[in-house]
Structure 1
C-alpha cells in the first residue's frame, strides 16, 4: 500500500468555488486514522495551511507556496528553498509594465509569504510570461487558476515532495499525489502514483498516471477509493 498521500487543495479537495468537499475531508481522515500520512500541498501561505490542517485533521505536514516552503508536522522546521527576493524584483518589473497599460497588480498576502509572490488574475498570464522572457528575469510564472504566482526556478511542489519524502523516511515512489493544475505537474511526475482530477488542464492530465472521471473533490474521493480500496471496503 502507498505509505503517504500528497494532495493539492484548491480545485482538488474543493469545488470550483473553493468550498471544501466534505466527502474529501472524510476520505483524508480515513487515511490518517489508518496510519497513512497526508500532506496538504498548495500555493497558499503557511498560516493558511496550518489552519486547514487543524480543521481537516492532518498532522501539519505541508508543502506551501508551490514548493517554496515545506515542513514535516506542526513542530517541524520550516524549510524555505524558494527565493522571495528574486520573485519580488520580478514582480516590480511586471507591475511597472502593466501599470503602463493601466492595470495595477494586486498582491495576495505578501506579508505572510516566505518564498514566492502571488497576485490576482487580472492579466493574461501568457503576456506576463512574455515579459519575463524578454527581460530575462530568473523566475517562472505559475497560473493556478485561482492566482498567479512568481516562483524561483528549480522550485516546485515536486522538488518539495522529494525533500519532504527524505525527511519522512520514504521514497517518492511510496507516495501518491493528486492535483488539478499546472503547479501540480512536477508533483504528479515524481510521485509513485500521480492522479489528476478531471478538471485539470491537459498538461496536468498528461503528467498523471491516471485521470479521474469525477471533477474537483468528487474526483479526489474517487482516486482515494481506487488506490486505497481496503480502507473503503469495510
Structure 2
C-alpha cells in the first residue's frame, strides 16, 4: 500500500523557476494515503494548495509554527517577539526586502521572514538580542522561536491522524526539512537540496525539483504493485 507523504513545497513541488509543477495536480489528488504539505511559507499558501489540489487540509506551515489537520488548528512560536525584533532591525537600518505590501508576512502567524537580500549579519545580531533564531532556507531568512520545527509539526499531524510517523515518506530540499527527515520513516532529498538536507536524507534523488519528487512517487507506486 502506498505510504502517507510529507511534502515540502519550494524546491520540491516546484520547477527551477519557482512555479508549482503542473504534474503535481496529476499526482497528488488521487494519492491513496494521507498527504501533508509541510512548508516554511505562511499558512494560507499550503491551505490554498490543498484547496486547489482537492485534498484534505493537512498542513505544516511556517516551519512547524502552524499545524492544521482536518479543521484542527494549533500554533507554536511567538510572532510578537519576532515583530519586536524586526522593529529593532528596521530601527538599525534593516529592510525585510518585501516592499510595502509585504505579502510574505501579512498572513504569517508565528514568525517573520526576510528576503535573502536583507542584511543577514544585522538580522542575526538582533535575533540573538531577542532569543530568536534565524534559519536560512535558501528562499528566505526566517526569524523564529527556537525549537519550532517541521519535525514537531509532523509528530502533531500523525497524532491527529492516529498514524505512526515512521509510516510517512518525507521529501524536501532545505535545512528546514532536516527535522522532518528525522521523524519520518523514510526520507528523500531532491538533487537540488542544500548540503544539510542532502546529508540528512536517507536517499538523494538523481533528478532535481519536482522531477526528483516524481521519481520517488513513481517508485512508491511501483513498489505497491
Whether TM exceeds 0.5 here: the answer is yes
Alignment of 1:26-175 (within 5 A): 26-31=26-31, 34=32, 36-73=33-70, 76-97=71-92, 99=93, 103-106=94-97, 108-109=102-103, 110-123=105-118, 125=120, 128-133=123-128, 135=129, 137-175=130-168
Identify the structure with the greater helix proportion.
1
Q: TM-score, normalised by structure 1?
A: 0.86
Give 1:140 shift: 1.2
Write out the 4+ residue segments of structure 1 that deviate beyond 4 Å after TM superposition: none
1:183 correspondence with 2:180: no
Find the aligned partners of 1:185 and 1:8 in 2 and give their Cα distance. 11
Distance 1:131 1:84, change over 3 A: closer
Find the aligned partners of 1:57 and 1:18 in 2 and give their Cα distance. 21
In structure 2, the partner of 1:12 is 12
Q: Is the 8 A contact 1:198 1:219 kept in 2?
A: yes
Structure 2 residues not aligned, in runs of 5+: none
Q: TM-score, normalised by structure 2?
A: 0.90
Distance 1:159 1:230, change over 3 A: same
1:192 correspondence with 2:185: yes
**For each residue in 1:68-119, what CA deviation from the matched residue of structure 2 results, as whole angstroms up to 9, or x when unmatched?**
001112xx1210012111222222233333x0xxx52235433312111112
CA RMSD of aligned residues (A): 1.9
Q: How many residues matched?
A: 221
Q: Is the 8 A contact 1:40 1:63 kept in 2?
A: yes
Find the aligned partners of 2:122 and 2:177 in 1 and give their Cα distance. 22
Find the aligned partners of 1:67 and 1:142 in 2 and give their Cα distance. 13
